[in-house]
A and B are shown apart, each in its own frame.
Chain A
């Protein structure tokens, strides 16, 4: 074969040799660069990249620990943690993964899955109102509302709400579900992308409404709580105590979440489990609460409320010596298990509504009002200790007590215009003579300018814990109010500011003078009337049932202000006590034993002698009960005058090996002997005899 002439060439011209050399050098240089770079990446910094690869593929998934149980003093289970099957949506595995920035839009392909699932688990597919806790996506200012209301199906709404609150976490759609549902969904995985059936721990309440407010509720942790000290160690999908004991002892009950190290691929899908650190379940909490006493108390209280057409009520039963709370009930009650599932807004509103009696409010610590005559022993202590009265002094109760003269004078009289005659202190307590204590109130009044914090009455009331925190192991307790000249001044100032729309009321509408109703009229100074009212537990004084129980415990134990507590011990799963809960008393008040005996004599006679205010209820009870009725007159706009029934009593350690103090309060329950004392009697009967006995309604109309 002959090459065309133009193509013939010598094999290697110097020119070509040069160019080949250039090309070869370039190749050599580039190979050198690549080798050096590879050496750097793989040999010199290899370890760093090995770690980077590990970070890439390993995700930590928190496994919630089962919460510890809450037991009563005898070991009965009040709250436990049960396993159940839950249908969950895994937002990242839906046909269209949920966009965490815009959860309000439900992609069509996801909606198909939701509707298909709704059919399986029996949930409505109709679109209804759905508030989602995120600002509307269209809103770009800082003044955006915190939540957006849209219309979504039940499942779509749950996914939107929970993803808005907790992106990436699995959304529990329904629990519990049956095994049948689990198998049905497992067999049709392709038709239900993003749907999983998993075992979850659910807080259970085998005793339902028993001590619901004290036990409290649990719920998913909120972003704010995640950084709170109290919830240290919680993870983004932790279930934490929200109220009551569950919140107070959350650190013990919560346990330590486990960590599952999961290998994921580039799409974030798990490809295998690398290691699992098992969750450590929470410790158990044993309470001083006696479930049987609690049940009797709640049932009896409910009966009183229904018999007397009351609005609600509370009771506290406590050991007067060490502050162990045997029972703490508030009616109406609720079943806390509703908080373990997504709760509709309407249901939540109902739990807090006045019409439904605000079941979530723990009236024993969060309800406070004037105590009525149950305050009288405190007044008596103040009068005796201050020397304004002696154990032998008497007062002639003519049925009317007047202070001042002329136009400034005012007269008050006993309930039912009773005329009690000449009374010593024990007699006055027995019959609950108002005039007697009006007189003491007047005697104990001091010059408000010289003593802005009040006289002996305020000092002793404060010593008994009126207007002060009890220190109980429950969040949210009220401190109440102890009226003093200074307190009245501050109310007057507030009234003024409210009327003028200044200070904290700036920007709010103005009111006519005294129109806000914060103070009694405008700028009314402290008067002797204030002290007289306080002496009989009426007027502005605000006391919670627990505060009153602490005060009566001091009368029972001789002056020790105990620190009430529901927690008894923290235990591990085997029942080994890890920590005892035995708080020392708050303080000790020094009361002359003779005075204490005098007051106790009155309290004993009130229950045991004919004419005593609670004789008809307690007279036949075979224990040394010291008790005082109270009927607080409460004025409100709707009801001209309503009576709140109180009863406070104790059986001291000197009379029994099982001392107890019981306080019962029934809102709009009428007279103390009628509305409250019968409940106390049943509680005492349960405590001493193991059975509630009959419901004995009293008939005394003393305040």
Chain B
């Protein structure tokens, strides 16, 4: 999910025009997303049939293609590690001492029972090169004025054909994202809040994911600490580090 987080982790300089073009907003987003590395501790609150569960983990990420996550809590998941390199995903579980590649059907399963699938996690966040963007409206979300940005996939093969992003007009933080199918059906909604100043950037610290087709309360993602542009040793992103 850290890769997904990239999407949200960005800063914007105050625009010179009252309404920047979609492309400009996206460029600003992408430009600001490219913090070279991110190290964060976070927790995920998952609402299931048996009440909610909290999973804690630490993530090291570099660029868009490489991420390493280690789960720290609860005890059952502790020590489980996940490595994403480009479009491949491996999981290591200490009890089995095995590295398993997640492919096919498994990619569609939910991660730890959340409203996110492995596929959602794997999604390429580089919106500029995959989507065309235009500002379609302005709106108010969480008492903040937002541009509503509509993104249409440039080529076949994106998981979501259409995205809509509500971007804070002042801070340039997205406060809401909606994912649509080809036919225009709303599939998923993400709400971002608790925007905080981190290393001089505005950062949403709480994200709620919701599968709109399913009944339920969705999954909360809360960033506890985050450090940007720290140096991460190269071997972190190798399969050897999983064991």
The answer to whether A binds B is no
Chain A interface residues toward B at CB < 8 A: none
Chain B interface residues toward A at CB < 8 A: none
